[in-house]
Amino acid sequence: MAKPTSVHHTEAGQGLPLVLVHGFPFDGTIWAAQLAALGDVARLLVPDLPGFGHSTPLPGPPEAARIEHYAAALLAWADGLGLASFTLAGHSMGGYVALAVARLAPARLAGLVLVGSRAGADTSDGVARRYALAAAVAEHGPIAAVDAMLPRLLGSPYSRQTAQVREIMLRQSTSGLLPAIYAMATRPDSTAALATIAAPALLLAGTDDATIPPSESELMRDHLRSAAYVEIPGAGHVPMLEAPEAVNAALRPFVAGLRPPILVPPGS
Ligand code: MLT
């Protein structure tokens, strides 16, 4: 039998759990500035998604990986830590995983934060680009993802952080990247599901995000029941690392104002 995925995490602070999930192809270290600054308003937990950072990959062939498998691994990890409910913050692919968690276990969400993410599925052109990237990563490793993504990743005021972001991307593994590419390519459209999310939401987007434009966050705000939208001026696709003070200033009051959901035991 395949071994269950081992999810590595770091944590800091006290209070209601706030789980910060990175995007592709990064790891939990992109949230370092939030982990360092927000421990007075929440218990911050920063996992590495399966196959990234120090977490083991999903079992099975890469082509079979689905976004729900990442969500299930995250829920199993939360169960192992005894986290009955938590606020989930997802960056980009981490947001796709967060929306899958919202579909699988809506009652466990105290709040939802989506950073530079979107609810829609890939277009057919987008899927074709994913499969081209998968072929390039299979042949050349993580440098293929760096070449495809890095030139458009950061807002111009933050280009001094290019080397740092490149290093994070390069230290990921081919065996971690491939399943994530297939999972993103096959993820469902979550737009209609947004209206069913009861937890308060916060949407953050860099004004200069050329990977996932801020209009995607505005669209999600229009479909969610209760959502605030904050733009991070000048930032690109990784605002938590490009403009940490602005991101923390948006997260702090949102997180401080959340209450745990009332959990109804099954069968009652
Ligand atoms: C990410 O940052 O997770 C990716 O850019 C998301 C994507 O490629 O759709």
The CA 1 to ligand 1 mean position distance, Å, reads 31
**Residue whose tokens read 């993410």:** 117
The CA 93 to ligand 1 mean position distance, Å, reads 5
pLDDT at position 194 is: 97
Exposure b/e, 209-220, CB count within 10 A at least 16 = b: bebbbbebbebb
How would residue 259 be classed by pLDDT, with cut points 50, 70 and 90?
confident
Which pair of tokens denotes residue 142? 């993580």
Percent of the chain residues past pLDDT 90, beyond the cut = 93
Q: Tens digit of pLDDT for each residue in 148-174?
A: 999 999 999 988 999 999 999 999 999
Q: How far apart are the first and last CA of the chain?
A: 35
Q: Which residues line ligand 1 (CB under 6 A)?
A: 23-24, 92-93, 184, 211
Q: Tens digit of pLDDT for each residue in 24-64?
A: 999 999 999 999 999 999 999 999 999 999 999 999 999 99
The CA 262 to ligand 1 mean position distance, Å, reads 33
Q: Tens digit of pLDDT for each residue in 206-220?
A: 999 999 999 999 999
pLDDT at position 125 is: 98
The answer to whether the CB of 7 falls within 8 A of the CB of 45 is no
Q: Tens digit of pLDDT for each residue in 223-252?
A: 999 999 999 999 999 999 999 999 999 999
pLDDT at position 53 is: 98
The answer to whether the CB of 154 falls within 8 A of the CB of 238 is yes
Per-residue pLDDT, averaged over 99-127, amounts to 97
How would residue 263 be classed by pLDDT, with cut points 50, 70 and 90?
confident
Q: Tens digit of pLDDT for each residue in 97-112?
A: 999 999 999 999 999 9
The closest-lying atom of ligand 1 relative to the alpha carbon of residue 118 is 9
Per-residue pLDDT, averaged over 137-147, amounts to 98
pLDDT at position 73 is: 98
> Closest Cα to atom 9, ligand 1: which residue?
93
Compute the distance between CA of residue 166 and CA of residue 88 in angstroms, rounded to an integer.
26
pLDDT at position 266 is: 63
| DSSP assigned state of 157 | G
Half-sphere exposure at residue 142, Cβ-oriented, CA atoms within 13 angstroms? 20
Phi, psi at residue 87, to the nearest 5°?
Answer: -90, 135
- Closest alpha carbon to 242 in 161, 177, 133: 161
Exposure b/e, 241-261, CB count within 10 A at least 16 = b: bbbbebbbebbbebbeebeeb
Per-residue pLDDT, averaged over 66-74, amounts to 98
Pocket test for ligand 1, best of 212, 216, 217, 242 (most atoms within 8 A of CB): 212
pLDDT at position 267 is: 67
